[in-house]
Chains A and B, each alone.
Chain A
Amino acid sequence: MKIMVAIKRVVDYAVKIRVKSDKSGVETQNVKMSMNPFCEIALEEALRIKESGLASEVVAVSMGLKQCVDTLRTGLAMGADRAIHVETSGPLYPLSVAKLLRALVDLEKPGLLILGKQAIDDDCNQTGQMVAGLLNWPQGTFASKVVLDKEKQVVTVDREVDGGLETLCLDLPAVITTDLRLNQPRYATLPNIMKAKSKVIKKFTPQDLNVEIKSDIEEVQVTEPPKRKAGVIVSSVDELIDKLRNEAHVI
């Protein structure tokens, strides 16, 4: 069985986000870009499944600008067998990504498609669900535990829901989106970085896959959250009560 993992290149989660001065978006020039942390977890899970002998190959896929290749290289250095890059230029929204993924799934025919539950840049949390819908595959989202049964061709997924865990059993092929607690991704070791250099990254364009990139969404503007006002030190309990009553109107 083959596992396909979708990987997104995003602004590194440790970077302080700056909004462009014209409010057209987030500054990405001269900013550290990395693999979306949830995608890292998705890839790690695929690699673990493969290492336990339940899958034969892990294919990492990404779509976007040509620099996505760097992120795919990271995926290959972590242990993915090969990679596919769909090169696009403009903004990509979840539905387009889902359509591209469906096309790649049709091409590669994986038994399992694993994605991060969301990307930390746009926080959409839609792609996994949309691609499952397009493929008409069962979906296990926010997975915190994944157990594959090769015999029965099912996968059991624990989902973190409010107030506890929900356990689902999905028929393969299926879509899984990963939550943070699923696993701890591995590091890219030098020997694996070396090996990754000879691994293949196949290129496609949306036209190759017969997907038209368009969106019904127009981004009007991006603004920073309002700055928090500095606190004040009150000199007495009376003053505090006065402020709570007359300024904050909470008592």
Chain B
Amino acid sequence: MEKLRATGRFLRYSPRKSLFDRRLNPNSENSIPNSASGYGHGFGEQCRDFQLYNDHNRKRNVQTCFGFYGHQGKTARDCIEKGLLEDTRRIQHRCFGSLAEKVQRDPSFSTLSSDDISYFKGILGEKNVVQDEERLAIANTDWMHKYKGSSKLLLQPQTTEEVSQILKYCNSRSLAVVPQGGNTGLVGGSVPVFDEVVINMSLMNNVISFDKVSGILVCEAGCILENLITFLDNQGFIMPLDLGAKGSCQIGGNISTNAGGLRLVRYGSLHGTVLGLEVVLANGDILDMLGTLRKDNTGYDLKHLFIGSEGSLGIVTKVSILTPPKLFSVNVAFLACQDYFSCQKLLVEAKGKLGEILSAFEFLDSKALDLVLNHLDGVRNPLPPTIHNFYVLIETTGSDETYDRQKLEAFLLHAMEGGLISDGVLAQDMNQASAFWYLREGVPEALMKAGAVYKYDLSLPVEKMYDLVDEMRTRLGDSANVVGYGHLGDGNLHLNISTPQYDDRTLAQIEPFVYEWTSAHRGSISAEHGLGLMKANKIFYSKPTATVKLMTSIKKMLDPKGILNPYKVLPHSIDSHS
């Protein structure tokens, strides 16, 4: 009894728990007013950011998150829908008001007929051909209610052969399709734009094999990331990627968007860890590239075309992925640096001296920390309230608690003596570690509470990364609060510009400047979110015309009728095949 009481209190004290409560409870006082303020631009991105960074095995939270989607998903979503009905309309209008004028339904696509429905019922059976309006409403809307399509049909194949039959038929009938996993993307890549048929992969959710010696997992594309994590946990392994949406996102979607997440600095991108794929092409052909070999230099490595192509070249149906062993010794330090140069030097030192145990290197500037401290409940500055300009979170993951700790302490003390860090704290237990992570992960939520926010997810050379934040500050002056934070270890900056309200004049000062600046420094305008519908037309900022042309040729070759996830990834002017 006492234990129960005690645990209850701990939960109440835990800052993360309250964050989740706030975020997940659609009726909470915070969520609706936030959206009601109507700053739709980037609304999804914010929350996704937060989700994305909310990693690190906070089982308690994960369960909460999972519960939301798993058990109450429908009702909760409904509540959001009702609560946000008016605001959603406004958000949409704002979000792609200008875009919507440009995107027209491609007239070469057919519209659904009753014969089509009967055909699909013949392949999939009555139950897996969904026309129920409620379920379609969910499939038509991205989870942050930023994009909304008007699909009338959702198909749930259970085997690769069924996917193949569906695509073969759709291709012959010129019916556009949108492959959908957990629908947690935030650039509008996983929802229909018009009336595309939704191919939902969630019934293909079996683990096919796991090799305990090599750590190679083979599974179907619809496996939910968290289920794979749980499965592997029992085997003593982990997934090489982890992100906040793990409770609903699916491995097929992760691969199709080349999801980044928090373990990237340690385990690399999916281009490295995915060993093989089975993909169904637009014409129904099944490409078996489901190798489980770490080395295979026979011809072009075609699987890479499908990693990160956002379902525009084929539908991933099976996956073979290399998983690392689970290590239990995790340490987290939260540090203060005087300037950005010190942060960079610290990164270099950390890579050299923490080498094999370094698992995250995140940074935020003082404005970002101020936002968190001022806008979130249950947080406190772990450092004495002196002014520091930058904060760095370092996480190590290793196999020997005592050794890892000694190593990290020695590194930190050395860095402190050398003046690279001006102050710091080292988490003594997992609760403290979560509290430090929350300071970094809470930034998107704090920004959301502060007012309107313009968000950019950019890849830039590390040494130049923060110059953009400084330039934006000069450019915008007092009219906006410009904050910078992100995955310093991966060269991924989250540039966020917070203003009391959304207005077009501010936007005009930011865009296209941010894209142009990023482009001039050979950065990427989308580090880990993808292009989807939102940035399809912005691809030229990061890719030269010749490259985009080749992409278009590949698209045309693999999907001549353009039925796979149309209007996305590639610019609409080139993409349209009228």
A interface with B by C-beta (< 8 Å) = 12-16, 30-35, 37-38, 67, 70, 74, 77-78, 118, 120, 123, 125, 180-181, 184, 187-191, 193-194, 231
- In the bound assembly, the distance between CA atoms of A81 and B253 in angstroms comes to 54
- In the bound assembly, the distance between CA atoms of A74 and B382 in angstroms comes to 16
Within the complex, the shortest CB–CB distance from B379 to chain A, in Å, comes to 12
B328→A77 contact, CB < 8 A: no
Chain A hits for B328, CB < 8 A: 30-32
Known contacts A14-B59, A118-B2, A190-B423; 13 additional CB pairs below 8 A are: A13-B430, A14-B58, A14-B434, A16-B59, A32-B328, A32-B329, A33-B401, A35-B429, A37-B431, A70-B401, A187-B432, A190-B412, A191-B416
Chain A hits for B413, CB < 8 A: 190, 193-194
A125 to B, closest residue via Cβ: B2
B interface with A by C-beta (< 8 Å) = 2-3, 6, 9-10, 13, 58-60, 71, 328-330, 335, 380, 382-384, 401-402, 405, 409, 412-413, 416, 421, 423-432, 434
A32→B430 contact, CB < 8 A: yes
Within the complex, the shortest CB–CB distance from A149 to chain B, in Å, comes to 29
Chain B hits for A35, CB < 8 A: 428-429
Chain B hits for A33, CB < 8 A: 401
Identify B428's interface contact among A14, A123, A188, CB under 8 A.
Answer: A188
- In the bound assembly, the distance between CA atoms of A188 and B408 in angstroms comes to 14
B60→A120 contact, CB < 8 A: no
Chain B hits for A120, CB < 8 A: 3, 6
Chain B hits for A38, CB < 8 A: 6
Within the complex, the shortest CB–CB distance from A201 to chain B, in Å, comes to 15
- In the bound assembly, the distance between CA atoms of A238 and B432 in angstroms comes to 49
B2→A77 contact, CB < 8 A: no
21 pairs of residues in contact across A and B, judged by CB atoms under 8 Å: A13-B429, A14-B59, A14-B429, A16-B59, A32-B401, A37-B429, A118-B6, A180-B6, A181-B9, A184-B13, A187-B426, A187-B427, A189-B423, A190-B412, A190-B413, A190-B416, A190-B423, A190-B426, A191-B423, A193-B413, A194-B416
Chain B hits for A16, CB < 8 A: 59
Within the complex, the shortest CB–CB distance from A188 to chain B, in Å, comes to 5
Chain B hits for A180, CB < 8 A: 6, 9-10, 13
The 7 A-B residue pairs with the shortest CB-CB distance, nearest first, are: A34-B429, A14-B430, A187-B425, A190-B424, A74-B428, A187-B382, A180-B9
Chain B hits for A193, CB < 8 A: 409, 412-413, 426
Chain B hits for A15, CB < 8 A: 430
Chain B hits for A30, CB < 8 A: 328
- In the bound assembly, the distance between CA atoms of A35 and B427 in angstroms comes to 12
A190 to B, closest residue via Cβ: B424
User: Given that A13-B430, A123-B2 are known contacts, is A189 also in contact with B424, CB under 8 Å in the complex?
Assistant: yes
B3 to A, closest residue via Cβ: A123
A31 to B, closest residue via Cβ: B328
B425→A188 contact, CB < 8 A: yes
B430→A12 contact, CB < 8 A: yes
- In the bound assembly, the distance between CA atoms of A77 and B429 in angstroms comes to 13
Chain B hits for A118, CB < 8 A: 2, 6
Chain A hits for B330, CB < 8 A: 32
Identify A13's interface contact among B426, B428, B431, CB under 8 A.
Answer: B431
Chain B hits for A123, CB < 8 A: 2-3
Chain B hits for A31, CB < 8 A: 328
Chain B hits for A14, CB < 8 A: 58-60, 429-431, 434
Identify A37's interface contact among B10, B380, B383, CB under 8 A.
Answer: B10
Chain A hits for B428, CB < 8 A: 34-35, 74, 77-78, 187-188
A13→B59 contact, CB < 8 A: no
Chain A hits for B335, CB < 8 A: 190
Chain B hits for A70, CB < 8 A: 401-402, 405
Chain B hits for A231, CB < 8 A: 71
Chain B hits for A13, CB < 8 A: 10, 429-431
A74 to B, closest residue via Cβ: B428
- In the bound assembly, the distance between CA atoms of A33 and B428 in angstroms comes to 10
- In the bound assembly, the distance between CA atoms of A15 and B402 in angstroms comes to 18
- In the bound assembly, the distance between CA atoms of A32 and B405 in angstroms comes to 12
Within the complex, the shortest CB–CB distance from A6 to chain B, in Å, comes to 17
Within the complex, the shortest CB–CB distance from A241 to chain B, in Å, comes to 21
Within the complex, the shortest CB–CB distance from A128 to chain B, in Å, comes to 13
Within the complex, the shortest CB–CB distance from A71 to chain B, in Å, comes to 9
Chain B hits for A32, CB < 8 A: 328-330, 401, 429-430
- In the bound assembly, the distance between CA atoms of A14 and B11 in angstroms comes to 10
B6 to A, closest residue via Cβ: A180
Chain A hits for B384, CB < 8 A: 189
- In the bound assembly, the distance between CA atoms of A196 and B288 in angstroms comes to 59
